[in-house]
Amino acid sequence: MAPMPLKKVPVAVSALRKAEGIFSGAVVDVYGISRNSYVSSGQESDKTKSKLLLVDVAVDSLNSEASKLGGEIGLTLLVPSQDVSRFINSLSEFELILVQST
C-alpha cells in the first residue's frame, strides 16, 4: 500500500491551546472550538461544541520564537491531501486546540 500523500499546512495556535511538550515530529489531534460560540438559555447549542478536525497528524515544524512575544505559535502540520481543503475552510470558523497523542 502506497503512503498517503501529505501537504504542509501552516497554522497559528494560541500558546494556551497547545499541549505542553509538542515538538517537531509530535503526533497530534486537532480540535476546533467555534469562534462564534455562545450559550443561550443555559443550554449548549451546536456552535458551542468542539469538533475533531484532524486525527493523528504530525507537526512538521514549530516556531516557538513567536510565542516569546506573547502571540500565537506558528507551526506546520502534515495533513493528508484529501483533508487539506476541508481543514483550511474550517480555520475561519474555529479556534484550534492541539492535543498530543501519547
Pick from 21-30, 34-43, 64-73: least confident = 34-43
Query: Which residues have CB under 8 Å from 67's CB, separation 6+?
Result: 15, 73
pTM for the full predicted model: 0.82
> Phi/psi of residue 73, each to 5°?
-95, 130
Q: Considering only residues 50 and 101, tell me which one the structure prediction assigns the higher pLDDT.
A: 50
Domain extents in the chain: 6-35+50-100
Residue 41 — left, alpha, or beta (φ > 0 → left; ψ -120 to 50 → alpha)?
A: left
Of 10, 16, 34, the closest CA to residue 84 belongs to 10
What is the per-residue pLDDT for 66? 59
* pLDDT tens for each residue of 63-86: 866 555 667 899 999 999 999 999
The string over 38-47, giving b where at least 16 C-beta atoms fall within 10 Å of a residue's C-beta and e elsewhere, is eeeeeeeeee
Cell of 94: 474555529
Task: Read off the pLDDT of residues 48-64 as tens digits, 9 standing for 90 and up.
Answer: 578 999 999 999 999 86
If one compares 46 and 102, the residue with the highest pLDDT of the two is: 102
**What average pLDDT does the structure give for the chain?**
84
